[in-house]
Structure 1
Amino acid sequence: MTLAERLAQAMARIPVADLLTGDGDILPETAATPTAAAVLVPVTDRTEPGLVLTQRTEHLRNHAGQIAFPGGRADPGDVDLVATALREAEEEIGLSPHAVTVVGLADRYRTVTGFEVTPVLGVIPPDLTLYPSEAEVANLFEVPLAYVLDPAHHRRVSAPWRGQTRHFYEILWNDRRIWGATAAMIVNLSRRLQWAA
């Protein structure tokens, strides 16, 4: 069975715990209709699979400097959210859509910045040469999938935010801090997959 087939089979299972739907503890009930967006969750096809992540540049308007999946808002020309994720991954890290075996859509997550993000799970060949966009991506790196999916590494923390207390997840790996929406989507994948990489 291929890695993509194993992931697809695992995605069909019922989650072991409740899924995170968004930054609900700080979203006003009157919040406007969210903007549709999608990210690619690129899993490298290795004996021990990895997960490719980016660190955003410091000058971006949204989520500057944060660790994220490649992705962004849906464009009118995108036929669906898979197309959005693949287009954004090509723009941000030079990943050809033809190199991605799309496994399927994961669980949507609504951010405090007004996006409803659909993660698109995909498998990519190992050791591809990727080209980060200087305008958006400060650097990219790969983390072991088994490490980030392990609930032992999912820490729920809190911090003040605009006069409120914001609760969110973070995952620490080496000198990297994965937090916020990206960490929440990884937590959801962990709960959905129930799968040891």
Structure 2
Amino acid sequence: MMDAPGSTDAAVLIPIFEHDGELHAVFTERRADLRRHGGEISFPGGRQDLPDEDLRATALREAEEETGLPPDAVELVGALPPTGTFVTSYRIHPFVGIIEPGHEWVLQPTEVEAVLELSLPALVRGYEAKRLWGKGVPFKTPTYTVDDHFVWG
């Protein structure tokens, strides 16, 4: 599990729910004025802190801090392989959790601009591999455009 590049462990939660017969994933849109990842769309998550028992706990804690989603409202059903980030050198451990639809989101105001509920079929339709730039270097990455939301990485 530690084969992914990156020097700092982080975890994200991929909250999934069903609505009107389609699966949806929950993302956060970060505030545009943030120094790191400003304006980017991501899954709720962040770096592992010392009180966290493990990376699952990190993902659940960060999701609650950023969106108000209580850990007991999430049924963790699996984990995806960790992936390294090029720009920030994080090793991100994704955890998948099932939640009920209709959650009342409580945004962390200094970090989160909005919570987005994007349907998985719309994400699939919006997929395209694109060349982006990071640290002055071009790199090819998966991208997803849904309405006016651009998700990459």
State yes or no: 1:139 paired with 2:124.
no
Q: 1:178 to 1:160 in 2, by over 3 A?
A: closer
Q: Displacement of 1:163 after TM fit?
A: 4.1
Per the alignment, residue 55 of structure 1 pairs with 29
State yes or no: 1:99 paired with 2:81.
no
Q: What one-letter code is carried by the residue in structure 2 that aligns with 1:166? A: F
Aligned length: 148
Matches within 5 A, 1:105-124: 105-112=79-86, 113-124=88-99
SS at match of 2:129: strand
Q: Displacement of 1:160 after TM fit?
A: 4.0
Q: Which has the larger Rg?
A: 1
Per-residue CA shift, 1:22-42, capped at 9, x if unaligned? 7xxxxxxxxxx5100000000
Q: Identity over aligned residues, as a percent?
A: 37
Per the alignment, residue 82 of structure 1 pairs with 56
Q: Displacement of 1:167 after TM fit?
A: 1.4
2:10 to 33, 37, 40: 37
Q: 1:75 to 1:171 in 2, by over 3 A?
A: same
Per the alignment, residue 127 of structure 1 pairs with 102
- Measure, in 2, the Cα distance between the counterparts of 1:82 and 1:164: 32
User: Which protein has the bigger strand share?
Assistant: 2
Per-residue CA shift, 1:78-115, capped at 9, x if unaligned? 11111000000000000000100001111111012011
Q: 1:36 to 1:48 in 2, by over 3 A?
A: same
Q: What one-letter code is carried by the residue in structure 2 that aligns with 1:110? A: G
Per-residue CA shift, 1:126-172, capped at 9, x if unaligned? 00111111111001111112332x3x532111134444322112101
- Measure, in 2, the Cα distance between the counterparts of 1:163 and 1:82: 33
1:169 to 117, 142, 153: 142
Per-residue CA shift, 1:35-89, capped at 9, x if unaligned? 0000000001333121111100123232111000000000111111110000000
State yes or no: 1:70 paired with 2:29.
no
TM-score normalised according to structure 1 size: 0.70
Q: What one-letter code is carried by the residue in structure 2 that aligns with 1:134? A: P
SS at match of 1:84: helix
SS at match of 2:108: coil
- Pairwise CA RMSD: 1.6
